[in-house]
Amino acid sequence: MNNNCLNHHLNKDCDDLPKVKFIYCMGMTGPTGPAGPASGSTGPTGPTGPSGSTSGFNTYMMATNNTKQTYSSASPFSFNNTTLANNITYSNGTFTINNAGQYLFSWASVIKNERPTDILSIGLYNLSPNNSYINYSNTGNTISNNQATFLSGVAIVNATAGSTYQLRNASSNSILIVPNNQMSSTLTIIRIN
């Protein structure tokens, strides 16, 4: 198309030109091209993250007693073996948690009633900071004088650093712990969070 015709066409004076029809045809899809590179180059190393806790979950204690001992009401149990211990300390019936976290306390004892028939109970006591019982396990039924029974219990505790705990005779009567196949009482403490 020359410039004159183009000018005529733009001015719509080119009626004498033949009309052209465009037909578009689509062929079959061609073969897939070769794959590109498997991966790009490695990016730069990211910054180092913050240091984790050095205490972690490596905090535990297992205390046992293999002797006969009598405890009056509200007296803490004592333990004569605390060899399995890390980040928890023990002294005279009191356990100290050195690192804050959630802890599982599990206890068991063979106890004998030394007074008139009564329901006997053992309790986990938070000496500090709260000065109160956290959980109990009891016989449910009354235990006659000189009758022995087995008690066990568990508690999960949100412990602050430096908090202290005791396993106590929570009964109104005195109780005697007695060895049963070597152990009269055990207390296990494990950090779980």
pLDDT in tens, 117-165: 888 999 999 999 999 999 989 887 888 988 989 999 999 999 999 999 9
pLDDT digits (tens, 9 = 90+) for 70-128: 999 999 999 999 988 999 999 999 999 999 999 999 999 999 998 888 889 999 999 99
Does residue 185 surpass a pLDDT of 90? yes
Task: Kindly report the CATH number assigned to the domain that includes residue 86.
Answer: 2.60.120.40
Domain count for the chain: 1
Q: Give the mean pLDDT of 30-51.
A: 81
Does residue 8 surpass a pLDDT of 50? no
24 to 21, 29, 30, 52, 71: CA distances (angstroms): 10, 15, 17, 67, 102
Does residue 28 surpass a pLDDT of 90? no
Does residue 182 surpass a pLDDT of 90? no
Any residues with CB less than 8 A from the CB of 49 and at least 6 apart, and which? none
Burial 12-28 (b: 16+ CB within 10 A, else e): eeeeeeeeeeeeeeeee
User: Does residue 141 sit within a domain?
Assistant: yes
Domain enclosing residue 122, as ranges: 60-191
User: Does residue 164 sit within a domain?
Assistant: yes
CA-CA distance, 173 to 191, in Å (whole number)?
Answer: 33
Query: pLDDT at position 17, please?
Result: 54
CA-CA distance, 162 to 21, in Å (whole number)?
Answer: 92
User: Does residue 124 sit within a domain?
Assistant: yes
Query: pLDDT at position 9, please?
Result: 47
